[in-house]
Chains A and B, each alone.
Chain A
Amino acid sequence: QLQLQESGPGLVKPSETLSLTCSVSGGSISSGGQYWNWIRQHPGKGLEWIGYLYYTGITYVNPSLKSRLTISGDTSQNQFSLRLNALTAADTAVYYCARGQYGGNWFDSWGQGTLVTVSS
């Protein structure tokens, strides 16, 4: 069974860069037919899609974050990562990684989520 686990700092300072990693077990990020997504949820709010990585290396991201965001993958470690720079308090959220299925990019497996707080 696929498992995803987010890791990264829980607290980052404004203007700094956030780096999060999603470790995948029970499946391979280099397999076709799956999309490796990042999603976040601001405190008390709804879900916001951040972007995804396809096994070919191509990425698609939320236009509202495009200028600050990089999503990449490390097939040797079976991980994919998110880098978000120029952080502000508005980036405080729970960050989830999730697998999307080919054909509809519905998210059938999620990590438990990691809370990231942006504060000095």
Chain B
Amino acid sequence: YVLTQPPSVSVAPGETARISCGRNDIGSKRVHWYQQRPGQAPVLVMFYDSDRPSGIPERFSGSKSGDTATLTITRVEAGDEADYYCQVWDVGTDHQVVFGGGTKLTVV
């Protein structure tokens, strides 16, 4: 039931960052994504795999293929540097919520 994320991703400003989230049944799950800056509460940046909440820039997008969900950030800015977490809700497993281990995005 673990969601697997890479511990870190590094990109230069203006490039594209891709953060993956893997699980063998993720194709049947709805995946949500959060951004957490240091010392702050997480912020929802994507829900239902690819729906963007109001106020989140169009540079953020979500997708899913096979056993991997991906959060893509285009034209990366310094302000995007943060930890990113994926999350699913396992209704069939006593309604458990599962978070990925988190990915530290560094803008170099």
Q: Which A residues are within 8 Å of any B CB, using their own CB? A: 37, 46-49, 52, 60, 62-63, 96, 100-101, 103-108, 110-113
Contacts and interface: CB of A to CB of B under 8 A. Distances in A.
Query: Interface majority SS on B: helix, strand, loop or mixed?
Result: strand
B81 to A, nearest CB: 17
B97 A46 contact: no
Contact of A48 (B34, B53, B95, B99): B99
Contacts of A104: 30, 32, 47-48, 89
A37 B98 CA distance: 13
Interface of B: 30, 32, 34, 36, 41-44, 47-48, 53, 83, 85, 87, 89, 94-102
Contacts of A106: 30, 32, 44, 47-48, 87, 89
17 contacts: A46-B83, A46-B85, A47-B36, A47-B85, A47-B99, A47-B102, A49-B96, A52-B95, A63-B94, A96-B41, A101-B47, A105-B89, A105-B97, A106-B32, A107-B32, A107-B34, A110-B43
B97 A37 contact: yes
A96 B87 CA distance: 16
Contacts of A62: 96
A104 B32 CA distance: 9
A113 B53 CA distance: 21
A109 to B, nearest CB: 9
Nearest to B53: A108
Given A60-B94, A107-B34, A113 B41 contact: yes
A110 B47 contact: no
Contact of B47 (A47, A48, A49, A108): A108
